[in-house]
Structure 1
Amino acid sequence: MITVEEVQNTQQKKEFLNFPARLYQHDKNYIRPLDKDINDVFNPEKNKFYTNGECTRFIFKNKSETVGKIAVFINKSYEQIQPTGGIGFFDCINDQETANFIFNHCKNWLRKRGIEAIDGPINFGERDKFWGLLTEGFLEPLYCMNYNFPYYKELFENYGFKTYYEQLCFSRPIFAEVSRVFTVMHAKYSKNAKISAKPLKKNNLEKFARDFTEVYNSAWASHGSGKQIEEAKVLKMFKGMKPIINEHISWFVYENEKPIAMWMNIPDLNQWFKYLDGKFGIIEKLKFLWVKKFKKNEKMVGLVFGVIPEWQKKGIEGYMIWEGTQHLRMHTDFKTTELQWIGDFNPKMIKIAENLDTTVTRKLATYRYLFDQEKDFERHPII
């Protein structure tokens, strides 16, 4: 007999965090997320999505033993054809009946609130964290990336979830051969005195925040939803990232000092956080500083890549990538780079990733479940 507990008290909150650690204790690739990062999602003072939504966590037990957990939520700004809620932070033993019980519980919770479909596993927050179910490439997860057992795919699909879209993660070895196109373009633009490449520097974050904003808003204004970003927000983000910025791996290209392209990377924090067992108190912060100093981090993560429209399809990215690659090969320990996931509904970005000489090394899936199974299922539209 499975019982349900809504997460409310301190003990339940700890169990919500500790259950996955027990479940994955023999999986060498599992990296426990920082408790702080999980808790912040469920803190209305930290998570702006509570202003236009609601979220509840549940723990499921068989007698006194935890067999599963999940968060279920509604984000009213998440506009879909039918009212759609979300589930995330799902973990479960390898038992279909238990998973069905959990999914049914969420469906009933959402149905009472006028919802007609579920997307999951997703985050009660932005898509850059805790989004999607890992289906291929069961490697160590990147920081704030979901990780799960392979059997989770069957638990979702046997219940009736279908793939709404796939999330593709592209990677390449740092010392792999670089496309001849890149080296040719590098040779071409190196002769142009108007063109220069500069790495991001911590002592001049204001300048690089301004340059980032200019390139981002120009490169992405007509792409997808066309969201503009404010310079003040970029500077705040840069300042927050300052402790982990590596000055050798983020690059900007200029034409007569005007920014025309950027390639933003950071170290994969999980290569350090995996030694902290999810905690980040005073002792763990000191340990983090020690690990960061003495443990080589061999993986970097690509955050943003952009070229302003006037310079697109002219090969300037080849100049930037080869300039940056030569430098970081000499000055860092990184051996691989991985891009943040790209949805299969975004062929333009996929083409850019492929042109960077990358290969797909892992896939995640965002699933959708329609309460009315007679309705036609439609995948995410192409943008």
Structure 2
Amino acid sequence: MIIVEEVQNQHQKKEFLVFPTQLYQHDKNYIRPLDNHIEEIFNPEKNKFFKGGECKRFLFKKDHKTVGKVAVFINKCYEQDQPTGGFGFFDCINDQPTANFIFDHCKNWLQQRGMEAMDGPINFGERDKFWGLLIEGFEEPLFGMNYNFPYYKELFENYGLKVYFEQLCFTRPIFTEVSRVFTIAYERNKRNPAISAQPMKKNNLEKFAKDFTEVYNKAWASHGEGKQLEEAKVLKMFNTMKPIINEHISWFVYENETPIAMWINIPDLNQWFKYLNGKFGIFQKLKLLFLKQFKKNEKMVGLVFGVVPEWQRKGIDGYMIWEGTQHLRKHTDFKVTELQWIGDFNPKMVKIAETLDTTVTRKLATYRYLFDRNKTFERHPYL
């Protein structure tokens, strides 16, 4: 018999964090997320989505031992064709009846609140973290990325969950030969005296926040689910990121003084955080400073790549890639770059990633389960 416990006290919160470390203790690729990053998601004072939503965490126990956990939630900002809730932070032993019990619990909880479907595993927040089930590429996860055993896919699909969309991660080794297309684009654009490339500098974040906002809004404002960004919020984000910004790996391209393209990367923090065992107290912060100084980080993560519409298909992307790559090869230890996931429903962005001389090395999937089993299932529409 499985006992359900809602996570309420400190002991249960600790168990929610610790259970995955026990489950994955023999998996060399598992990296424990920082406890405080997980806890902030479930803190109404830290997570703005509590203002219009509801979220609960549960532990599932059998014979006094934890056999699974999950978070289930309603996010009013998550607009779908039918009222759709979500579940995430799912972990479970390799046992289909146990998984079915957890999924049933999520479904019942959501049905009681008027939902007609559930998506998972997703985050009670933005899509940039803890979103999707790993189905290919079982390697060390990037910072903020879900990791799970291969058998999770069977647990999901045997229950009846179906892939709503796939999330593609593209990788490119830094020292592979740069595409001839990029070389030609670079040579053509470097002859234009109005075109220049600049790396992001920490001492001038106000300027780069302004330039980022301008390029992003021009490139993405009308692009599918894109939305306008505010300069003040971008600056706040940049200031938060300041300790991890590497001035050699984020680039902007300008026509005279006007920003026309950007390529934003950060180091993969998991290459350092994997030595902290989920903790981030004073000792771990000192250890992180030591690691950053003496432990080479060979992986960077591509966050945003964009070119304003009037400069698209003119080789500016190739110019920027060539200029940035030549520089970071000389000034950093990075050997590979991986782009954060791109949904398969976004063929334009998939095409851009493919033109950057990348290959798909990791896939995640967002699953959907319709409570009315007679209703026709449809995948995420193309943008």
- With normalisation by structure 2, the TM-score equals 0.99
Measured in 2, the distance between the counterparts of 1:231 and 1:113 equals 37
Which amino acid in structure 1 is aligned with residue 315 of structure 2?
G
Residues in 2 aligned to 1:303 and 1:226: alpha-carbon distance in whole angstroms: 15
2:268 and 2:135 mapped to 1: Cα distance?
Answer: 21
Question: How far off its partner does 1:210 sit?
Answer: 0.8
1:312 is matched with 312
Q: Distance in 1 between matches of 2:16 and 2:225?
A: 35
State the AA in 1 paired with 2:371. F
Q: How far, CA to CA, are the matches of 2:295 and 2:349 in structure 1? A: 33
1:12-91 to structure 2, matched below 5 A, reads: 12-91=12-91
Task: State how far apart, in whole Å, the 1-side matches of 2:182 and 2:52 are.
Answer: 46
CA distance in 1, matches of 2:134, 2:159: 17
Gaps of 5+ in 1: none
- 2:240 is paired with a residue whose SS is helix
* Alignment-derived partner of residue 133 in structure 1: 133
Partner Cα distance (2:206, 2:112) in 1: 49
Q: What per-residue deviation string (whole Å, max 9, x for no partner) do you get for residues 277-328 of structure 1?
A: 0000111111111111100000000000010111000001101000000000
Residue 109 (str. 1) matches residue 99 (str. 2): no
* CA distance, structure 2, for counterparts of residue 220 and residue 370 of structure 1: 31
CA drift at 1:40: 0.5
| Deviations 1:25-53 (CA, angstroms, capped at 9, x unpaired) | 10000000000110000000000000011
Aligned residue runs from structure 1 range 195-214, under 5 A: 195-214=195-214
In the alignment, is residue 298 of structure 1 matched against residue 328 of structure 2? Answer: no
> In structure 2, what is the equivalent of residue 356 of structure 1?
356
Ranges of 4+ aligned residues in structure 1 off by more than 2 Å: none
Distance of 2:107 and 2:251 partners within structure 1: 46
Further displaced range: 88-97 or 218-227: 218-227
Q: In the alignment, which residue of structure 1 is the partner of 2:152?
A: 152
Aligned to 2:166: 166
Q: In structure 2, what is the Cα distance between the partners aligned to 1:230 and 1:74?
A: 26
Counterpart residue type for residue 213 of structure 1: T
| Within-5 A mapping of 1:147-296 | 147-296=147-296
Match of 2:330 in 1: 330
Instruction: State the shift of 1:83 in Å.
Output: 1.1
* Greater mean alpha carbon deviation, residues 164-173 or residues 216-225: 216-225
Shift of 1:226: 3.8
Offset, 1:350: 0.2
Partner amino acid, structure 2, of 1:339: L
Q: For 1:212-248, what per-residue CA distance to the aligned partner results, in whole angstroms no more than 9, with x for missing partners?
A: 1111111111111341101111111111111000000
Q: Secondary structure at the match of 2:330?
A: helix
Aligned AA (1:74): I
Q: Give, as a single letter, the amino acid of the residue that structure 2 aligns with 1:303.
A: L
Deviation at 1:67, TM superposition (A): 0.3
Query: Which letter maps to 2:360?
Result: V
CA distance in 1, matches of 2:201, 2:78: 37
Secondary structure, in 3 states, of the residue corresponding to 1:365?
strand
Q: Which amino acid aligns with 1:227?
A: K
Asked if residue 11 in structure 1 is aligned to residue 14 in structure 2, the reply is no
Q: Which residue of 2 aligns with 1:341?
A: 341
The letter for the 2-side match of 1:128 is: D
Q: Which amino acid aligns with 1:179?
A: S
Distance 2:86 2:144 in 1: 18
Q: Which residue identity lines up with residue 272 of structure 1 in the other structure?
A: W
Cα distance in 2, alignment partners of residues 186 and 78 from structure 1: 41
Deviations 1:46-71 (A, max 9, x none): 00000011000000000111000000
Q: Which whole-Å deviations, capped at 9, do the CAs of 1:355-379 have from their partners, x for residues lacking one?
A: 0000000000000001111110000
Identical aligned residues as a percent: 80
The 3-state SS of whatever aligns with 2:125 is coil
Letter of the structure 2 residue corresponding to residue 372 of structure 1 = D
Q: Could you tell me which amino acid in structure 1 is paired with residue 105 of structure 2?
A: H
1: CA distance, partners of 2:61 / 2:237: 40
**Superposed CA offset, 1:151-183 (max 9, x none):** 000000000000000000000100011110101
**Distance between the aligned counterparts of 1:77 and 1:202, measured in 2?**
33
Q: Deviations over 1:244-286 (max 9, x none)?
A: 0000000000111211100000000000000000000111111
Once residues 87 and 258 of structure 2 are traced to their aligned partners in structure 1, the CA distance between those partners, rounded to angstroms, is: 44
User: How far apart in 2 are the matches of 1:200 and 1:146?
Assistant: 29
